Amino acid sequence: DAMVIQNPRYQVTQFGKPVTLSCSQTLNHNVMYWYQQKSSQAPKLLFHYYDKDFNNEADTPDNFQSRRPNTSFCFLDIRSPGLGDAAMYLCATNTGTSGSGAQYFGPGTRLTVL
**Which residues here bind other proteins, judged by CB under 8 A?**
4, 31, 33, 40-45, 48, 50, 55, 57, 59, 90, 92, 94, 96, 100-108, 110
Nearest to other proteins of 15, 54 (CB atom): 54
A 10 A CB-CB count for 77 gives 13
Q: Is 84 helix (H, G, I), strand (E, B) or coil?
A: helix
Radius of gyration over alpha carbons of the chain, in Å? 13
Q: Look at strands 19-25 and 4-7 and give their pairing.
A: antiparallel
Nearest to other proteins of 19, 92 (CB atom): 92
Closest distance to other proteins from the beta carbon of 83 (Å): 21
Q: Which amino acid is at 10?
A: Y
Closest distance to other proteins from the beta carbon of 108 (Å): 5
